[in-house]
Structures are given as structure tokens and as C-alpha cells.
A = this chain, B = another copy of it.
């Protein structure tokens, strides 16, 4: 008597949620400092101080009716213009407010784009493993399919031959998530240029554009001077989906955007269809107070020092023990190889033997690896290393 698909979505077990819940329970038994929870990608640095200052200023100075009233569905013109200007200032783009559509975070951005681009049931969106498991929900939301390209082990760049093989006449778009969740890897400009060339070739072959959907919530989270190429600079048919969840540490406030550059083929039609699909998501407008906050704070840089310190301490600590791990240039994830080759078993062992909570790569389309979210306290990292060492000694070859 209820929809089976959605009942399935609503009752599907989530290893991440289960690990997190286990950690909370265990912390009650053995103490919080004895549980090492690397399961959740919840920012551990506070929002820049400008965020709360702006909230208070707006609440004090702006009329309640304007501040808390409806905006246009794509968001306030002034907010979109500030964001467009910031893109123009930082990248080689002539971004305009009218090319931006603000959303309640990245999830509805990706879904509305998927729905706009899906025309028939055979249409497919290519996701490159390892990838965010929720893509399976997002990119099938319009009735199309997800096609997975196997991971490029051990560097977790993109295997171009495998990608070429995956693209077919029904391929609508390739989803690029860099810095990557779960690997922390940043795709090189060289990789992106090659993908662009490949998509142009395939588009000519099949007679329709193949888009890149750039899922970029981690764009600002990079370390050691690494640059994240702004994909529209190397490939015209790019649709950018962004959120401030990580860069401003505002994941709960639900604010992001879709950016469809003018030069993107059928861009205006896609924008209209995406706006239309948003009606079916119930997206009346993104939260207005937070739109105004972003308008002011889009220029703020996150203070990445704590993440960088964590990254170095965890990466070096694990490598010293003997773990293998791709070079983590961005986001706040490490993706390590399971010493025993079995990510599910290793996650379970780490949990039961050491209260270390790490997420198996299987759910990310990459068995044999595990994700560690290092948006945690530095102390927790240091205290967890002896446990990692014992696990490696027991399960490593």
C-alpha cells in the first residue's frame, strides 16, 4: 500500500549511519575519548566568524518581511549577482546572475539537473568510482540510469579507456566530483582536458552533447597549494553544482547552486527544465536568511589549517604504519587500502576491536578500500593511531 521504491529508500540500511550510531552508543559505555569515529563528513571547523556576524546584522537591520519572506525561486537577484561576481573574480568566466539557480544544497541541485537532462529510460549518467553512493538516488530520479566506471587504482584519477568504453549513445552526462568524496583526490587539469576532448569526440559521434556535471562541494578544500581547475574553463558543456556546506561549514543550512554557463549547449533550455524540475522537488526558494548570508560571505575563505594538520598527521601516521593510501589533496577524506583486502571485514574488525569507525569502500563502488573522514579533532587522530597499528599488524600481509 505504499510505494515500494521509496519504502526501500527509506528503510535501506546505511553503513555510515549505523557506524555513527554505534559510535554514539559505544561512547556512552567506554567514554567518548575511546571511540574514534571517522564515519561522517560533517565539517569540524566552525563557520567563519563573518557568518554569524552577518546573521546578526541582517536580523537587526533588515525588515523581517524582506528577510524572511519569499525570494524568487532561483534566489535573490542580489545574492546571485554577488556569487556570479565572485566566480568572475576567481575564474575565467563571465558568469551572470541569470545563469545561477540557488538550491537547498547540492543534493537538489544535482537532482534537478538530472531530471532536466533525462529524456528517456535508457539515458545514463556516468559516475566514476569511487563515488558518493547517493548518486544512485540522485541521477536515477528522472527515470534514467547510473553507469559506473571502475576506479583507477591506486591513484584514483580517471581511467580514460574505461570511461570511453562506458560512454554510449544514451550517455547524457559524466559526473565529476573533485576534490573527490571518498578519495580526497583532486583530478589534474590534464585529466580534465582529456575528458573534455573525449566527450567532444563522443558527442560528435553520437550527434548530441555529453555534459559534465561538476559536483563541487569540496572545491575550496584543498591543501599544499594544489589548484582545482574550474571545469567550465576546459569544457564548455559543463554544469556546475555547488554548495557552501563544506567551504563555509554550513551543511545544515542547505544552500548551494546550479551554474549553467552561457556557452553550455542548450544552456537556457536546461536552466528552464531544471527550474521546472525544482517545482517537483518542492523547492519554493532556498532559505532566505542564508541566501543573504552567502551574499555577504561568498568572499570568505575557510580556515583550512586544522584540516591540513589532520590530513598530514593521519596520512603520515598511517603510511608510517604501512597502510596504502592515494595522495589526499582535497576534501577531508583519506581512502586507504584494506590491509586484508576486504573492506567490509576490516571495517567490522576496526569497529569491534579498536572502536575505530571507518566506512567500507564497497558502498562507494570501490571494494577493498575504506574512507576515513578526518573532519575530527586532532587529538582523536593521534589517539587512534595505536589502534590502526594493531589492526595493521593483525590483518596486514
By a beta-carbon cutoff of 8 Å, the part of chain A in contact with chain B is 1-12, 40, 42-47, 51-52, 55-56, 59-60, 63-65, 67-71, 103-105, 107-112, 115-119, 134, 137-138, 141-142, 208-209, 249-254, 266, 269-277, 279-290
Residues of B within 8 A of A12 (CB): 276
A222 CA / B56 CA spacing, docked (Å) = 32
CB contact under 8 A between A277 and B55, given known A47-B64, A253-B287? no
Residues of B within 8 A of A142 (CB): 3
CB contact under 8 A between A52 and B46, given known A119-B2, A288-B252? no
| Pair B252/A71 contact, Cβ less than 8 Å | yes
| Pair B65/A43 contact, Cβ less than 8 Å | yes
Given B7, B70, B118, B138, which contacts A282 in the complex, CB threshold below 8 Å? B138
Residues of B within 8 A of A7 (CB): 116, 269, 272-273, 276
Can you give 25 contacting A-B residue pairs, CB < 8 Å?
Answer: A2-B117, A6-B115, A6-B276, A6-B280, A9-B279, A10-B275, A10-B277, A10-B279, A11-B272, A11-B276, A12-B276, A42-B70, A51-B64, A52-B59, A65-B249, A68-B251, A68-B252, A70-B252, A105-B282, A109-B282, A111-B280, A252-B289, A254-B284, A254-B285, A254-B286
| Pair A115/B65 contact, Cβ less than 8 Å | no
Residues of B within 8 A of A9 (CB): 273, 275-277, 279-280
Residues of B within 8 A of A47 (CB): 64, 68
A357 to chain B, nearest CB (A): 17
| Pair B282/A10 contact, Cβ less than 8 Å | no
A210 CA / B252 CA spacing, docked (Å) = 35
| Pair A252/B282 contact, Cβ less than 8 Å | no
Q: State the number of copies, please.
A: 2
Residues of B within 8 A of A266 (CB): 1-2
| Pair A279/B137 contact, Cβ less than 8 Å | yes
Given B40, B272, B282, B290, which contacts A281 in the complex, CB threshold below 8 Å? B282
Residues of B within 8 A of A252 (CB): 67-71, 285, 287-289
| Pair B64/A8 contact, Cβ less than 8 Å | no
| Pair B42/A64 contact, Cβ less than 8 Å | no
Residues of B within 8 A of A117 (CB): 2-3
- Which chain B residue lies CB-closest to A281? B281
Residues of B within 8 A of A272 (CB): 2, 7, 10-11
- Which chain B residue lies CB-closest to A8? B276
- Which chain B residue lies CB-closest to A251? B70
A283 CA / B283 CA spacing, docked (Å) = 10
A282 CA / B55 CA spacing, docked (Å) = 25
Residues of B within 8 A of A108 (CB): 281-283
- Which chain B residue lies CB-closest to A49? B64
A120 to chain B, nearest CB (A): 10
Residues of B within 8 A of A64 (CB): 46-47, 51-52, 249
Residues of B within 8 A of A270 (CB): 2
Beyond A3-B142, A68-B253, A105-B282, 12 additional pairs, beta carbon < 8 A: A1-B209, A7-B269, A46-B63, A46-B64, A47-B68, A55-B55, A68-B250, A70-B252, A104-B283, A134-B279, A251-B284, A289-B289
A209 CA / B70 CA spacing, docked (Å) = 36
| Pair A6/B282 contact, Cβ less than 8 Å | no
A52 to chain B, nearest CB (A): 5
| Pair A69/B42 contact, Cβ less than 8 Å | yes
A279 CA / B110 CA spacing, docked (Å) = 12
| Pair A284/B107 contact, Cβ less than 8 Å | yes
| Pair B116/A282 contact, Cβ less than 8 Å | no
| Pair A69/B43 contact, Cβ less than 8 Å | yes
Residues of B within 8 A of A286 (CB): 254
Residues of B within 8 A of A254 (CB): 104, 284-287
